Chain A
Amino acid sequence: MSIETIDISKRFGQFKALDSVDLEIPSGELVALLGPSGSGKTTLLRIIAGLEFADSGAVRFDGKDISDRSARERQVGFVFQHYALFRHMTVFENIAFGLKVRPRLHRPSRAQIRAKVQELLKLIQLETLADRYPSQLSGGQRQRVALARALAVEPSVLLLDEPFGALDAQVRLELRRWLRQLHDEIHITSVFVTHDQEEALEVADRVVVMNNGRIEQVGSPDEVYNHPASPFVYNFLGNVNLFHGRIDGEKTYIHERETGHVVYVRPHLLEIDRQPNGGSHFRARIKHINSAGPLVKVEAVAEWGDPVHIEMSQERFQGLQLIKNESVFVIPKDVKVFQSNEAVKAK
């Protein structure tokens, strides 16, 4: 089912949580709402679910306006950030809940419910834990039970609020791959909220970057990462070096002082060399080297005093044999320039 939000605004007292948000989510896609805390992403998700109501604007499912329908009538599967499992029910009862509370006319038989729950337990690989209580499960297990519970009612839309936020790094990584695979199998329109850019870029078909109650950019992970539409998006999706700069015709200049333009460079797009190699470059002194991990992170100070972060491969680092306090040449390979007033807004 496709989801559409039209001109949605929502205030909480003085705080403007959403400011006329228009969004279209095609049927069957897995979409990430990405943004810092307070950007309105969770509010938007809750409005789609019917757990919150917009002050103005409309929500449409498959083109049909459902703004006035309650959460109960929308038939969405919602997975809560802290799982919200029913603590006094076993895993089995939790998953069966949505089927058991259906009006008698539409309620499946006991055997059908049992079969459905078994099927879902198999899907989340927790068949042996059906009689456990939520308190007896690990965080990752609880998350999967919450997902199975939401899927049990065969929702037309699956909404997940920070689905991996409360898990430790290892489990997080495994679970988000699992979610991706699950989506590839069942193709249900899914929206998940996250503040973790890596998570959004890895899992989603499309990423919706939000800031201050507005949508900054919608696009594929590749688009938003490689072609950010605003300084905010550039900043939010990965580390970045900021320099004062100026565009003169075709060329971009990095300056020491305020110029009205800001130059954005990702750390991995800065190269270090001992020779200037003819092209554009500046001098810097190496302050600190962190070679633990797949990339070597180098902190340096530019000739005009600004700190510079540079990332390079282990091979390159081995080849260069850099040492602390050494003076080197830094060569920007790709930069992006925004007006400073835009950049200030993004901060």
Chain B
Amino acid sequence: MATTFTLRGFGFARSAKTEPVTTEKPLVRWSLIAVAVLFLGVFLFMPLAVVFASALAKGFSVYISALREPDALAAIKLTLLAAGIAVPMNLIFGVAAAWAIGKFEFFGKSFLVTLIDLPFSVSPVVSGLIYVLIFGLQGVLGPWFAAHDIKIIFAVPGIVLATVFVTFPFVARELIPLVQAQGNEEEEAALSLGANGWRTFFRVTLPNIKWGLLYGVILCNARAMGEFGAVSVVSGHIRGRTNTMPLHIEILYNEYRFAPAFAVASLLALLALVTLVVKSVVEGKSEEHEAELRVERIPEPIVVGPEVNAA
């Protein structure tokens, strides 16, 4: 009690509200806020508004027909397929990687972490080229696949592979710090209580990382659907067959068909908005979860001793 009192005397307790010591003059404050708002307006809100405005510029029927066009439908399907494969795969990879890195010490651990980060640091175009060099006709494994009549480059498998590669770090990156921070104690407790590995994972580890995992999956999905560079290199742009949504948009745009291009683009923009909403909900949830863990302990007089004998 005495400590709290002294601290308050020095003004620490006020920091919960606005702290006059760290506040600038009104002029500085308002100009900083104006710069931030202007920046956000020009670089975020305006483009977003333009996408939807251009999409609907020629009327709602044009918008709808642009989306119902067979090529557009094929592109949407392919995008959903690629994301539908890439996201679950990276979910499993990510959890496994985070588990290994966060819970164990082993030789080459930092190398593995670097490897997981690789897709972030490599340009997506290079990522795509890697697959062309491996699976392309002139590539390392290409002739073998060609001989067995398996098409990877300029076909759906190549697109899925490129998407998996580019979105690989999202789940792992999100989970590693979380798993590391949580340590091993709860798992050890579960083990000493007789739980086996799978049970420990599903009943102890997974519930502790679920919000972080969901957050990683959301980001991973957004990127999987929006990926352009790597997919562009391996796709071959065959309309109705190997075009994903971003590629389809590019083709429409290059053909000066702005309204349909923006119509499809609006779907991706919509996805981004939905992602943002879900993300903020999840973030709120996980913060709540964190806060729950940090709740001040409830002081309560402990009655121990004589009662034990009575019991």
Is the CB of A57 closer than 8 A to any CB of chain B? Answer: no
Which of A50, A74, A138, A182 is close to B297, meaning CB atoms less than 8 Å apart?
A: A138
B:165-199 near A, CB below 8 Å? 185-186, 188-196, 199
**What sequence of 0s and 1s flags, for each residue 120-150 of chain A, a beta carbon within 8 Å of any chain B beta carbon?**
0011010000000101111111000000011
A:42-85 near B, CB below 8 Å? 49-51, 70-72, 74-78, 80, 82, 84-85
| B180 smallest CB distance to A (angstroms) | 16
> What's the Cα separation between A64 and B70 when bound, in Å?
73
Question: If A88-B207, A136-B295, A136-B298 touch, does A49 touch B192 (CB 8 Å cutoff)?
Answer: yes
Q: Which of B92-100, B234-242, B302-310 contacts A (4 or more CB under 8 A)?
A: B302-310
Question: If A80-B185, A84-B186, A135-B293 touch, does A51 touch B304 (CB 8 Å cutoff)?
Answer: no
Interfacial chain A residues near B194, Cβ < 8 Å: 72, 75, 98, 101-102, 153
Q: Are A72 and B191 in contact (CB under 8 A)?
A: yes
> What's the Cα separation between A70 and B200 when bound, in Å?
14
Q: Are B293 and A87 in contact (CB under 8 A)?
A: yes
**Consensus secondary structure, chain B interface:** helix
Question: If A101-B199, A135-B294, A149-B193 touch, does A78 touch B304 (CB 8 Å cutoff)?
Answer: no
Interfacial chain A residues near B299, Cβ < 8 Å: 138
Interface size of B in residues (CB-CB distance below 8 Å): 32
> What's the Cα separation between A245 and B38 when bound, in Å?
82
A:283-340 near B, CB below 8 Å? none
Interface size of A in residues (CB-CB distance below 8 Å): 45
**What sequence of 0s and 1s flags, for each residue 270-311 of chain B, a beta carbon within 8 Å of any chain A beta carbon?**
000000000000000000000011110111101111011101
A:203-261 near B, CB below 8 Å? none
Q: Are B311 and A123 in contact (CB under 8 A)?
A: yes
Q: Are A141 and B311 in contact (CB under 8 A)?
A: no
Question: If A78-B188, A135-B293 touch, does A185 touch B302 (CB 8 Å cutoff)?
Answer: no
Residue of B nearest to A78 (CB): B192
Q: Are B309 and A71 in contact (CB under 8 A)?
A: no
Give me the interface of B with A, judged by CB distance under 8 Å: 185-186, 188-196, 199, 203-204, 207-208, 292-295, 297-300, 302-305, 307-309, 311
Give me the interface of A with B, judged by CB distance under 8 Å: 49-51, 70-72, 74-78, 80, 82, 84-88, 97-98, 101-102, 122-123, 125, 133, 135-141, 149-150, 152-153, 171, 174-175, 177-178, 181-182, 185
